[in-house]
Amino acid sequence: MDVMARTLDPPRRDLCTDCGVSRTSDPRRCGRACQFIRPDYARLERRVHGRERDPARPDELHFGPFRRMLRARLRAPRPGAQWTGITTRIAERLLETGAVDAVLTMKAHPDDRWRPVPVLVTDPADLVHCRGMRMGYAPLLALLEPARAAGYRRLAVVGIPCQVYALRELEREFGFERLYVIGTPCSDNTTTENFHRFLELLADDPATITYLEFRADYHVELRYADGRSRTIPFLMLPISRLPRDFFPLTCRTCVDYTNVLADLTVGYMGGQGEQWLLVRNERGEELLSLLGDELATAVPGSAGNRRAPVKGFLANTLRAAGGLPLRSMPRWLRPVVGWLMPKVGPRGLEFARARVEMKACETVAHLRREQPKRVRSMVPPHVWALVEPYGLRSGAGERDR
Ligand SMILES: Cc1cc2nc3c(=O)[nH]c(=O)nc-3n(C[C@H](O)[C@H](O)[C@H](O)COP(=O)(O)OP(=O)(O)OC[C@H]3O[C@@H](n4cnc5c(N)ncnc54)[C@H](O)[C@@H]3O)c2cc1C
Ligand code: SF4
Ligand code: SF4
């Protein structure tokens, strides 16, 4: 069975990624649930994981509470998946084993492979249509009420961090008997319309691009409908030709890259070419155990030093004054540095730490510039701790926690 999102009430707030809450029967829920008002990660981490992140434990300041981290891949990668398909395979297993009545996730719009459309899936075979990454956001949580109305009592949700934050704030109101949350990291998202403009700059026939990923080896990978693939070093991307407002302020300032409130986070940043899993609590262990021998795992590695790249990124962000952080590097040097970065730049967990710190720097820099009054409420303590080594400290009136 397949239920598409209805369109009740469009979002009204200026900082909003249309997570779907404003489209429920009570749009006032946004005031209680929205990540873009006064996010309280410590409280929710305590409720979901039994404790908040502990900066004394390695990597928790950066990645949130977790029990263990893994490099992982499905021994039989699934066609059409973004990486090997761990996310949708777990969702399939939840349905196959009867652990849940339905999975709430995204599928591709029938007319646009890049546009996410929320869907409630009850037949495991239908998850094949959900594989792969779409760019943009869509009102996932608008289907929570229809899920209850359809009688689903045990639900799994696959979501990006701003959706998962609102879900955790509201989960008790919806009263599911059991809720599993699989989260993916998310950063640099934009509207599907903007993303199409980016694709137009990358290829003469953008409609033939079927896959895109910003890989941890500093290259974007593109795949085409005819089976070809191509990689482009980050430094050679046509960033300078994108409009200044290409990334909305929400996605430049959100404060949870790694989806810390999920039971299990499935990403790639710390995976050195494979997937990267953060098992955050007992329910996350349960989700992972559904894969049994299908999963090959290893200990994540770490190499390089993030300090200089993060410092450089912050300087570029400040110089860009609200636009895209272009590097002040001559054109001729770019291919050389593009070749060098995967060899000498931060790799594995150090790459993931670097990306989390860059995002934290962006949050502070962009909010200060565009919505200074919101710095106080929107920047949680862990973000201040992440940016401090780079000389960004809270000023007068910028901090209430
Ligand atoms: C916009 C975006 C940015 C991301 N950025 C990073 C990043 O910087 N670092 C990182 O480690 N990982 C990032 N990810 C996650 C990563 O791309 C993979 O989705 C993840 O590693 C799972 O791979 P998989 O093969 O297990 O997924 P699959 O089995 O292919 O399943 C993908 C799942 O993601 C859901 N999904 C796809 N697009 C969206 C969307 N737009 N909104 C909500 N759900 C969606 C699908 O419905 C499906 O359930 C990002 C994901 C998105 C959507
Ligand atoms: S809770 Fe969701 S729908 Fe409501 S304002 Fe926030 S992002 Fe938008
Ligand atoms: S970048 Fe942040 S705000 Fe934007 S869609 Fe992803 S999680 Fe949501």
pLDDT at 266: 98
pLDDT (mean) for 306-327: 83
Nearest of 78, 80, 105, 79 to residue 91 by alpha carbon = 105
Summarised one tens digit per residue, pLDDT across range 155-183 is 999 999 999 999 999 999 999 999 999 99
Q: Which residue's CA is the closest to the ligand 2 atom numbered 2?
A: 19
Ligand 3 pocket check for 189: Cβ under 6 Å: yes
Give the dihedral sign, CA 49/54/59/61. Answer: positive
Please report which confidence band the pLDDT of residue 328 belongs to, taking 50, 70 and 90 as the band edges.
Answer: low
Please report which confidence band the pLDDT of residue 332 belongs to, taking 50, 70 and 90 as the band edges.
Answer: low
Q: Which residue's CA is the closest to the ligand 3 atom numbered 6?
A: 186
Please report which confidence band the pLDDT of residue 2 belongs to, taking 50, 70 and 90 as the band edges.
Answer: very low
Ligand 1 pocket check for 191: Cβ under 6 Å: no
- SS3 sequence, the chain? CEEECCCCCCCCCCCCCCCCHHHCCCHHHHHHHCCCCCCCHHHHHHHHHCCCCCCCCCCHHHHCCCCEEEEEEECCCCCCCCCCCHHHHHHHHHHHCCCCCEEEEEEEECCEEEEEEEEEECCHHHHHHHCCCCCCCCCHHHHHHHHHHCCCCEEEEEECHHHHHHHHHHHHHHCCCEEEEEECCCCCCCCHHHHHHHHHHHCCCHHHEEEEEECCCCEEEEEECCCCEEEEEHHHCCHHHCCCCCCCHHHHHCCCCCCCCCCEEEECCCCCCCEEEEECCHHHHHHHHCCHHHEEEECCCEECCCHHHHHHHHHHHHHHCCCCCCCCCCHHHHHHHHHHHHHHCCEEHHHHHHHHHHHHHHHHHHHHHHCHHHHHHHCCHHHHHHHHHHCCCCCCCCCCC
**Pairing relationship of beta strands 347-348 and 302-303 according to DSSP bridges:** antiparallel
Summarised one tens digit per residue, pLDDT across range 51-109 is 999 999 999 999 999 999 999 999 999 999 999 999 999 999 999 999 999 999 999 99
**Could you give the CA distance from residue 284 to residue 126 in angstroms, rounded to a whole number?**
23
How far are the Cα atoms of 215, 331, 363, 384 from residue 360, in angstroms, in the given order? 20, 28, 5, 8
Rounded distance from Cα 185 to ligand 3 centre (Å): 9
pLDDT at 100: 98
Summarised one tens digit per residue, pLDDT across range 218-269 is 899 999 999 999 999 888 888 888 888 899 999 999 999 999 999 999 999 9
For ligand 2, which residues put their CB under 6 angstroms from it? 11, 13, 16-19, 21-22, 30, 33-34, 36, 162, 166
Rounded distance from Cα 61 to ligand 1 centre (Å): 23
How far are the Cα atoms of 60, 103, 135, 276, 362 from residue 349, in angstroms, in the given order? 12, 30, 25, 9, 20
Rounded to 5°, angle at Cα 252 from 248 and 256: 125
Residue 377 has pLDDT above 50, yes or no: yes
**Could you give the CA distance from residue 157 to residue 227 in angstroms, rounded to a whole number?**
32
Instruction: Provide φ and ψ at 198, rounded to 5°.
Output: -65, -45
Query: Which residues does residue 181 pair with via DSSP β-bridges, in sequence order?
Result: 157
- Look at the chain and count its residues: 401
Nearest atom of ligand 1 to the alpha carbon of 268: 11
Ligand 3 pocket check for 187: Cβ under 6 Å: yes
Q: Which residue's CA is the closest to the ligand 1 atom numbered 6?
A: 186
Nearest atom of ligand 3 to the alpha carbon of 186: 6
Nearest of 167, 364, 354, 348 to residue 254 by alpha carbon = 364
Nearest atom of ligand 3 to the alpha carbon of 188: 1
The alpha carbon of residue 267 and the mean position of all alpha carbons in its chain are separated, in whole angstroms, by: 8
Summarised one tens digit per residue, pLDDT across range 171-222 is 999 999 999 999 999 999 999 999 999 999 998 899 999 999 999 888 999 9
**Could you give the CA distance from residue 29 to residue 320 in angstroms, rounded to a whole number?**
36
Rounded distance from Cα 24 to ligand 2 centre (Å): 11
Q: Could you say which ligand is closest to the alpha carbon of residue 39?
A: 2
**Could you give the CA distance from residue 247 to residue 168 in angstroms, rounded to a whole number?**
25
Nearest atom of ligand 3 to the alpha carbon of 36: 3
Residues 6+ apart with CB under 8 A from 47: 168
Rounded distance from Cα 240 to ligand 2 centre (Å): 30
pLDDT at 129: 97
Rounded distance from Cα 330 to ligand 3 centre (Å): 31
Ligand 1 pocket check for 116: Cβ under 6 Å: yes
